[in-house]
Chain A
Amino acid sequence: MGRLNRCFDALRTRGRKALVPFITAGDPGPEQTPALMQALVESGADILELGVPFSDPMADGPDIQRSSERALRRGVTLRTVLDLVREFRASDTHTPIVLMGYLNPIEVMGYAVFARLGAHEIDPVFLLAPTSSEERIARICALARGFVYYVSLKGVTGSDKLDTSAVADKVRLIRRHTALPIGVGFGIKDAESAARIALISDAVVVGSALVSRIEALGNGPNLERGVRAFMKGLRAAMDGMGPGRVRESL
């Protein structure tokens, strides 16, 4: 059983939803990444989504584009990303790590090499979108492992168009086709929206909002502290304890 399955099993037992922060590996610099990952886990992350920087991030909005450019300027490659994961694994063997990126760096490395360097248990996490037909949802769910990632809106990462009730409808439809946990990402930018999405899904992915904080904090002394504070706000709201708590049930 993979780390993702174990993680979701444990969360279910505790009645808790997964908080999945996204950061770009090597942003602001590769030397910060393992410590940042650790800080994310300590401040409430259940799963880490790690962006593999690419020169042409077509599905990403400006925040993640810029983070990708910062990492590339620091010379981060797919190999660097795998090395950073290995470094993190020296102190944390259980937190699942999901890589998110574009095909070409893997294509160039070679799929066999990537699989060998990557891990023994790779779960392919597929994305579904508002435009996915029911027939396509069924086909994709049949192939998916770990969890299914629902892209909450028509747009790029960091968009401003989150419509919770539309997301809820689609998540219900997806549930008819899979017993896997369903994560939702894109457009979730604060404690309040994280709490709303937590009520209707199994995992909440927060990317651009976190990455833009990392950009603002830069290499400064408050980087980790700022990230922890943001994460704790999300966590508390999702667990129904924070100021962003949603009272009415959706």
Chain B
Amino acid sequence: MRAGILRSPSPLPGFGLSFGIMMAVLSIVVLLPIVALLGHGLAIGPADLWGMVSSRRIRAALALSFRAALVASLFNLVFGLVLAWVLVRYRFWGRRLIDAAIDLPFALPTAVAGIALTALYAPNGAFGQLLAPLGLRVAYTEIGIWLALIFIGLPFVVRTVQPVIEEVDREVEEVSATLGARRAYTLRRVVLPTLTPALLTGFALALARSVGEYGSVIFIAGNLPFQTEIAPLLIVIRLEEYNHEAATAIGLAMLLIAFAMLLAINAIQIWSRRRIGDV
């Protein structure tokens, strides 16, 4: 009775085994912990949860996490598009090295990135010294948080847009040019619309990752309450105080943001599939 209405028949074996392994690991590693978090939230009750989340310090931390992630992801949206375009369309010395380096933020542990950025941008660091005379402080300010989030979010837009640019039909651009469109007009009105779904997907992925980022940020942030204290750090602080209720409240708020972004990503993909066939 395994098959039945839920599964259409297939001659291949191993459904029970593979499905079983998948569900077992998924449940133990991902679903049960998430359910435990939701369960704790229910036990605390919506009113108390809301009370905690709307406390000034938590609100400031959540707002900072979201705002910094938005700034960094917007930067990565623009820069990622330029980067992907240059890597696909132009041939220049060092192109392959840069292409390979794009994935550095995926491969480099976040804590390593965090201390490296701090070393560079601290007032006595290589870049910090250059920026200090300009009156620009990066380390231990919100700008430092932006920088860390730009670093970790950089590959997302590039890697989602790059394959789509490779697919863009050059003949369409030629047609546009023969019809008298200037290059800038062609890029804006012909090329950009085909890239929009991939751009949005990459942006949403970068945003989702940046909102919850911890390791690369805490070293450079300075971690002052109300100013440079991100939401994940506040969870850690509350946990260290054994204040599981407050930690749960912040965790649930962040989980809600994560779910919303996951929905947004799926919606973008469904929308773009309807519009141009595939992402």
Are these two chains actual partners, yes or no?
no
